[in-house]
Amino acid sequence: MTVRSRCDRVLYVRKEPILSSASCRHTPLNVALYRWPALRPLTLNTLGEFAGIVWVTALLAATISLDRLFRPDLEDGSLDLLALSPLPLEAVVVAKCLAHWLVTGLPVTLLAPLMGLMLQLDLQAYLPLIVTLAIGTPAISLTGAIGASLVLGARRGGALIGLLVLPLYVPVLIFGISAVEATLAGLPVMPHILIETAILFVTLPLAAFAGAGALRLAME
């Protein structure tokens, strides 16, 4: 297989979930966009409270679409074709996670500063909030891919995914919010960012190999 054909396969794996999400009314992006205005009547006194709401929104936006991360490909046979191609299945999992992050984590990361300005919050900790979201939301997508691949083919897999991955999201949530609170308190913020970065580096190979192994089991 030529380099160009391999690149075309990777682009297809990344593009298909994005187009699928864009054609669905209940997309994570729509959830993030239409839930944000509900925050306007709230009275938020600190950026720490706002950071908590942002992270919960990111978790919900990511979790709501995990059931469709691999299931459509398994049902229409695309996953079997990808498994038979020279492209490693681990690369397919990573590409799927990247596409999932582009329609879930990235919109929340970009919208967070704008919503903070709308709520007239202090600008002091915006940078740590954006940095931790940019690092933590890919880790959320990677962790969710592990759960989505493990329950692939099971009945009511969406409910099972939530039970599997929500406890694993807790460290990312804690250190993301703690980074903002540390900035507001005048404490060092780098330890929290470094821990989030370490979580991302651990989940990347784990999601690739564990997800690919679970997909092979689901196709048998």
- Own/partner long-range contacts of 15-21 (Cβ < 8 Å, ≥24 apart): 15/99, 16/73, 16/78, 16/99, 17/68, 17/69, 17/96, 17/99, 17/100, 17/103, 18/99, 18/102, 18/103, 20/68, 20/72, 21/65, 21/103
Residue 78 neighbours by CB under 8 Å, 6+ apart: 16, 72
pLDDT band of 141, cuts 50, 70, 90: very high
Is the pLDDT at 134 greater than 70? The verdict is: yes
pLDDT band of 206, cuts 50, 70, 90: very high
- 67 within 8 A of 157, measured Cβ to Cβ: yes
Question: What's the confidence (pLDDT) of residue 122?
Answer: 67
pLDDT band of 8, cuts 50, 70, 90: very low
Q: Where are the domains of the chain?
A: 3-219
pLDDT tens by residue, 36-95: 444 444 445 556 677 888 888 888 888 888 888 888 888 888 888 888 888 888 999 999
Is the pLDDT at 33 greater than 70? The verdict is: no
Distance CA 37, CA 59 (A): 18
Average pLDDT estimate for 137-150: 92
Question: What's the confidence (pLDDT) of residue 99?
Answer: 92
Global pTM value: 0.79
- 105 within 8 A of 140, measured Cβ to Cβ: yes
Distance CA 128, CA 30 (A): 25
Question: What's the confidence (pLDDT) of residue 120?
Answer: 65
Q: Which two tokens stand for residue 17?
A: 């979930």
Q: Average per-residue pLDDT in the chain?
A: 78
Ranges 36-40, 42-46, 124-128, 201-205, most confident: 201-205
Average pLDDT estimate for 111-127: 75
Q: Which two tokens stand for residue 133?
A: 């979201």
Distance CA 36, CA 113 (A): 12
- 74 within 8 A of 152, measured Cβ to Cβ: yes
